[in-house]
Structures are given as structure tokens and as C-alpha cells.
Structure 1
Amino acid sequence: MSSYRIIGLFALLGGLTACERPTPPLAAGQEPAYDLTSYLQEQTARLQQEQPPVLKSVITKGQPTETLQLEELDWEKELAIFQEVDLSRPALRDFYREERHTLPNGSTVSIFTKDAEAAAPVDRLQLTVSPLQKLERLEAVVLEENLLFYSKRNISLTAEPGSGNLNGYRVEGVQKLIFGDSLRYRVDANL
């Protein structure tokens, strides 16, 4: 009897897999989204090696601005928030609508907007990429919400136009627990 259950389980799993929606093919001539993960890995390795001085400011509601010049940072942790907004994975393509525009200087602006029903944290992502396929700017809105917690973050990253090397980033947001006050904050880092 147990062998019939195993066969039935495999048949059920096979049937469910067959009903999965395949990843839609990209439109003719449309390249996949910019590979943000590779870019961030490359920048993390470069910054870990170079350890450039960073001027970092932190502002929280009701507190004076705190600014420090830091000589050494763990860049993997510093850039982790930007890893969260990488939409180049095929599983995420169904959740977003993409618009592309070409600027007069030849750079491409790609704007990804989440479908209203999608359960993904990235609400909106905008990437500006140079004609040489170097990232120039990233802007994203990340929303997380459940019964006990609400968080909204606006994050941005800027890079040098020619090389694509990171030269600054900002994280601005608000967090609120259901039974507490909201916390507003902003972190600016300039290399």
C-alpha cells in the first residue's frame, strides 16, 4: 500500500510541475534586466581591496546629524541592501512591468514597477545604464509590511559615469511597529 502512496505522490508532484507557468520569453530584441548582483560583487571586491575613506552621515528623527569619516568598512554588509533589489532573476520577471527610455546622451533608463497583486518587497526600481553598459544610478523603493511591522525604504546608489565605480549611496526610510512610534532615518555615504 505504501508503494502506491509514493507513486501517487510523484504523480501529483509531476502534475503540479506541469501546471507551473513557464517564464515568459523576453520580447524580441529585449535584453534581460541589468545584472545588479554581478555589479555589486565586483564593487564589493574592489572596495574591500581599496578601502577608500567614506564620509558617512546618519540622521534620525529628533537627533542631531552624526557624520563620521570611516577608513575601513565591511563592504559586503554596506551594500547588502542593494542586493535585495536585484530583479534579474527569472522568477521575478512575472511580477514587474518594465519601461525603457533612451536619454539624449545614449544612456538607458529602465523602470521596473511591481504588479499590484505581487508579493515582492521591491515596489519600484529604476536603473540608469551608460551606453558602455556601466551602471550610473540606481533608485528603488522597498516596502515590507505585515500585521506587526511596516517598513519603507528609498534607496539610491550613484556611480562614476565612465567607470561605473560606486561613488555614493543613500538609504532613507521609516520603520514602525504596530505598538510603537515610527522611526525615520537617513544614511548618506560618499566615497
Structure 2
Amino acid sequence: MSNQRQQLGYVRVSTSKQTTDQQHDALKAAGVTRIFEDVMSGAKKDRAGLQALLAYAREGDTITVVALDRLGRSMTHVILTIEELQERGILLRSLREGVDFSQPLGKMLAGIFASMAEYERAPIKERADAAREAARARGKQTGRPRALDRPKIERAWSLREAGFTPSEIAASLKVSRATFYRAFDSARELASA
């Protein structure tokens, strides 16, 4: 792929009974050279066409849609997609809304969308923090389970005292060396406490 900035497009219809022809025509008339497509509900997050577009697009490229609602059915998903594009330096243009994020008005709207995304994440984070705290108060494990439980840490300690190298121990426990070192350091702290 060259370093030339590309004019990319995305079209979506909800069912196979609908056609994307009108969207294709509008994007081609707007100068789009490559179009990615999905035929599925905008409520679904795992849309292959959108994922392929996001994987293909590079900084400086422009993605054009006929309307912002083509990016997703929920405002949250549309905002998060726009935020990802902004973070990656990919411009967005929506024909129906007349939004072009390379222009002053579009840049202002991009800022508004970024603020909305931040606002959207704040209550989600607060609820997640409260749920984790409630789980901890009840003695429940929160987050990702530990790769090495106490018996494995004791085994690692024994192997280390027997002269095995960290790489050999990590391989025998089927963990990375970094995981071994973290577990070994925390076990040493517990032993010295």
C-alpha cells in the first residue's frame, strides 16, 4: 500500500432485501475509490466490513459514509467509532449531515463527539468500579484470574531453589517469564513480611 492518502467508504444495509446501490453511487460521486460493505444490523458490533475498513485505513485517509447512522445504530457505537478514527488521525466525512472532519466546523463537531464519548465512559467506569468494590467486600475475585495460584508459586519457588533458571521454570508452568517474575517477587514479599 502506498503512502498516498486514500478516499475510503463504508456502506451498510440491515437486511439482504435492501440494496447498497444508492450508497455506492453517492460515495463514488464523492470521490471514494474503495468501498467496504456490510449487510447486517447496525446494532451488531462485529461487522466484518467495518472491521476490515478500520484495519485497512491509515493515518491521513478519509472515510466517507452517506450518513453517520451507517456506522452503527446506537449513538454510543457511532461515537466510539468516530473517537477511534480521530485517535488514529483518520478523517471522517458524512454526506447527509454535511460533516467533514477536515474542515473547521467538522473539527468542532469532532471535539463535541470526543466529549460525548468521555461523558459516556464516565458512568460506565463508575458502575464497574462500584461492582468491583462490592465483589471485593464479599471476598470475591475481581478481574482476570491469576496465571499462577499459590501451589504453582510454591512449585516455582522450589524449582528456583533447586537451581532451575527462570526460563525453565516459566516453561514448565506454561507462563511467560514476566508472569514468573511478578509471582516470584510477590511471593518473596510475602515471605519477608
**Relative contact order higher in (CA < 8 Å, ≥ 6 apart):** 1
Structure number with the higher strand fraction is 1
Q: TM-score, structure 1 length as denominator?
A: 0.21
More helix as a share of residues: 2
Q: Normalising by structure 2, report the TM-score.
A: 0.21
